[in-house]
Structure 1
């Protein structure tokens, strides 16, 4: 809950702007995160992937159930024959019959291969769920980053606009002093050159804002409001070690890789079981009616218990076994790689936070010093002790210091949310975002037992309509 309060507070500075008599509320970070969660097509895509994985469980369960098939056919037989009994004449024959039959089969024993397939499908579902959480984190982090990058661009633009105003005043002052002979034409030209440069930099800043707005729209699915206060930096673990310990328990990509290893282990067992025989119980019943003779029909059935197993299939089964062992080894190695990547991601994000905080402290001191220097040089210039170039240089130093401070502040926010994502806590659930959260267990619980009844099918249809997939 504390994390949620920090997240929501990070965007609650309501910088109201007035346009046409209406008040436009500035977007908050919570608005950006909610928009990113609700509008992401990538999330919808991977939710569908998860539902497809859920159906794999249903199909694996169905393999343990009886299989009932029906057949029906109408047959017309015709031909001609010639024999001694027909004195060498050709005799034509035509007959018609209809038949219908039922066949039921049940898997009795397969050395656990089907049970292992069910377990494997369940492990795949769990892995896919955590992959979906990883995608959710990427979407929310992109939304947060787009929000802060837009704030950076807007604040830099405001500084550039202020800089243009200040240089404009300096140019007017230089022209006034030139008129009375206090400065030369060179001072005026220097001020004019700096004004042109400021206008160019302002155009660049405006372009940066336009690009940041487009990224914000893409990431959040909404147009940005006005600039808002950055708010409080979210709390992060007190050390790299503490953050890493959390990440190794909760990072979704790492957990998905762990389930992938278990899935690969089951794949080896399934491949081994495929080399063994299976036992099936089969029942058949059929009815045949001669359409030319209504009194003639035949009906009957059979029940059989049979076993079958592979003898030679060109080496395909043993190749599949070797392949499953290779996949298991690959997944185990991948787990080590993902674990190392998680450690590195946490460390890098944590270092970026520390670097940003050090930069903020230094930039604040630089801004304070540059402001004092600018004020002093401007006063000295009014007294004739400083040139116009000195004033312009001091203004440029102050502009650079303010820009560095803005960037360092935004970098701290981005790095802090990167730490949260690296530890696996940048999710709608952990942040308690005011959204309709997607519950992956609802669909799974409906299909895990392979429902076939109409009432269960209707319940599934209601769920699909609720998520907009009818």
Structure 2
């Protein structure tokens, strides 16, 4: 049974590319270039960007051309002659119109489209950071669960040796059958825990494959985190400037305010110029041709629309109020998330320190208990308990190291800095933005 579980661990660790070592930067770079969630959001941003071109088209003239041909035959009889006449007229025309004044609706539509595009870009930054966080978490989960499985495997071997020693001591009458049963029970529980650890490792590997796009190979040690703020206030200030959630809400408010201008423009006159030119030619015997030209100006003044335009203006004002309040809500949410992330990172660091001390203390305690048991001062159960405490402290340390690293990444995300650019990933940075954030003097030391 032990050999079977050991083989399962070896297969889990070496499957899918054990001949190469994969770093966290490699995983994040692959995720950045191939993750379907991120690719889909980029496609959505490109679609939103087309709204800017569509809005700007309102400034340009509209020109259309048309052509037509028909055939008609007329026959008449009576008198001395029968007459027949076939006519094939051809028509050609071109029409053009140019908006002169639309009450500010064109300018408002352009401002609204640009603000919507920038809001979409900020949402893309948020999705990018969320996907990169998921990829990094999956990477660290595989590492953590691999270490846990190895610790569990080693515990099975240690308890197996402990059981063999207990049986040998029982044979010579040094301990009772109860001591042997206790050792056997501990080893059986350890085998079950090892099997559960292998299942968890398989689950983490599957999650990694889903997010990154390929199965994990031999994962290298994660690099040190980028420089993090020294104080909570510094972290909150950075988040206030660079959080995509807050910036996106601000751009959405700009779009809503531009919508007021669009709605107000419907109450004002609409002035436009139009022109057309056309030619008609007959293919009959006479070969008549007629040309026509026209140019004119048109003014349209809304007088009564049943309250429709006024209602749309009121609705636009309400939407702008909603967007303004959503900015305040986003600011509070960002401050809360940043505060929680900062405190969680501090707490995780403390857990690492205490867990490291616990591992060292339990190693010393186990060594002492084993020596005391050898001279009969301790029972088999004492040794088993000491081994269990050491095992628990090692598992706690492995989990704490993973949790501290993830907490640091979450803090970067809450500040808006968990991007391919600030992490200096070896990828071509996707850029569809009209305005990029100015990083200023913030220390964004990448992984080296």
Measured in 1, the distance between the counterparts of 2:38 and 2:276 equals 48
2:98 corresponds to 1:103: no
Residue 59 of structure 1, aligned match among 54, 61, 68: 54
Matches within 5 A, 1:390-469: 390-441=382-433
Tell me how far apart the structure 1 counterparts of residues 308 and 287 of structure 2 sit (CA, whole Å). Answer: 52
For residue 207 of structure 2, what is the aligned residue in structure 1?
215
Q: In 2, distance between residues paired with 1:248 and 1:164? A: 51
Which of these residues, 24, 27, 48, is aligned with residue 22 of structure 2? Answer: 27
Corresponding residue of 2:37: 42
Q: Check the 8 A contact 2:38/2:127 in 1, yes or no.
A: yes
Q: Equivalences for 1:319-334 in 2 at 5 Å?
A: 319-334=311-326
Q: CA deviation at 1:95?
A: 5.8
Secondary structure in structure 2 of the residue aligned to 1:432: coil
Deviation track 1:22-51 (CA, whole Å, cap 9, x = no partner) reads 972332211121121111112211211222
Q: Equivalents in 2 of 1:157, 1:138: separation in Å?
A: 28
Could you say if the C-alpha distance between residues 107 and 194 of structure 1 is closer, same or farther in structure 2, counting changes exceeding 3 Å?
A: same
State the aligned residue count.
419
Which residue of structure 1 lines up, in the alignment, with residue 446 of structure 2? Answer: none
Residues 80 and 292 (structure 1 numbering): CA distance in 2 closer, same or farther, change over 3 Å? closer
Aligned residue for 1:365? 357
Alpha-carbon spacing, 1:233–1:64, altered in 2? closer, same or farther (3 Å)? closer
The normalised TM-score by structure 2 is 0.88
The offset of 1:207, in angstroms, is 0.8
CA offset digits 1:41-97 (Å, max 9, x no partner): 12211211222222211112221111111122234568999xxxx9xxxx9998653
How far 1:251 moved relative to its partner? 0.9
SS at match of 1:229: coil
Q: How does 1:350-389 map to 2 (within 5 A)?
A: 350-389=342-381
Q: Structure 2 matches for 1:28-427, cutoff 5 A? A: 28-75=23-70, 96-427=88-419
> 1-side partners of 2:139 and 2:118: how far apart?
32
SS at match of 1:302: strand
Structure 1 stretches of 5 or more lacking a match? 1-16, 443-470
Aligned residues of 2:18 and 2:217 also touching (Cα < 8 A): no
Distance 2:119 2:18 in 1: 47
Deviation, structure 1 residue 98: 2.6
1:164–1:198 Cα contact (<8 Å) kept: yes
Are the aligned partners of 1:145 and 1:414 in contact in 2 as well (CA < 8 Å)? Answer: yes
Structure 1 CA distance for aligned equivalents of residues 334 and 433 of structure 2:
27
- State whether residues 77 and 96 of structure 1, in contact with CA within 8 Å, keep that contact through their aligned partners in structure 2: yes
